[in-house]
Amino acid sequence: MLRLFFNFIIFLIIVIIVQVLGSVSMRYSDPNWYAMLNKPSFTPPDYVFGIVWPILYLMIAVSGFLIWKNKGVKFFELAITFWALQLFFNMIWTFLFFYLKSPLLGLIDIILIWVFSVLFMIFSINISIVACSLFVPYLLWISFAFLLNLKINLLN
């Protein structure tokens, strides 16, 4: 039981590191650049992101942990690989969009996050229905982020 707890903590730390690394590029980006962009009317207030993302990151950590604790089963390697890939592209989105000031690269990145998330869900559903289900809100949020990012590209 203690080993499972430590494995969960490792997944939580991995996701926290990804969140912190993603936010570092935000600190070093130009805040005026984003403020000056034309944004769609459905752009949520900034505080919404601060509420949604910690919840989603916790769900991502739990989902990865649930797959990890079933290592050795069929499709484990694919599921955990796609979990890691979506997390990597999640981490670099902020760098691409805000630091490089490239909504286009951000849009391409979101497509990759979405694809790897769907692939994770496909390969995780037979390993852990809970792990797969925890990605549903994340996939919905990423889909919304895609639309938001796409509209920002079109407006600017």
Spatial separation of the C-alpha atoms in residues 28 and 113, rounded to whole Å? 23
The answer for residues whose C-beta is within 8 angstroms of residue 29's C-beta and 6 or more apart is 98, 99, 101
- pLDDT exceeds 90 at position 31: no
Local confidence band at 1 (pLDDT 50, 70, 90 cut-offs): confident
Enter the pTM of the model. Answer: 0.94
pLDDT digits (tens, 9 = 90+) for 89-117: 999 999 999 999 999 999 999 999 999 99
pLDDT digits (tens, 9 = 90+) for 50-64: 999 999 999 999 999
Spatial separation of the C-alpha atoms in residues 59 and 62, rounded to whole Å? 5
pLDDT digits (tens, 9 = 90+) for 8-29: 999 999 999 999 998 888 888 8
Return the residue matching tokens 């497509």: 111
Instruction: Give me the DSSP letters along 93-123.
Output: HHIIIIIS--HHHHHHHHHHHHHHHHHHHHH
Angle at 87 between CA 85 and CA 89, to 5 degrees: 70
Spatial separation of the C-alpha atoms in residues 118 and 83, rounded to whole Å? 10
Contact 147, 109 (CB under 8 A): no
CATH architecture of the domain with range 2-155: Up-down Bundle (1.20)
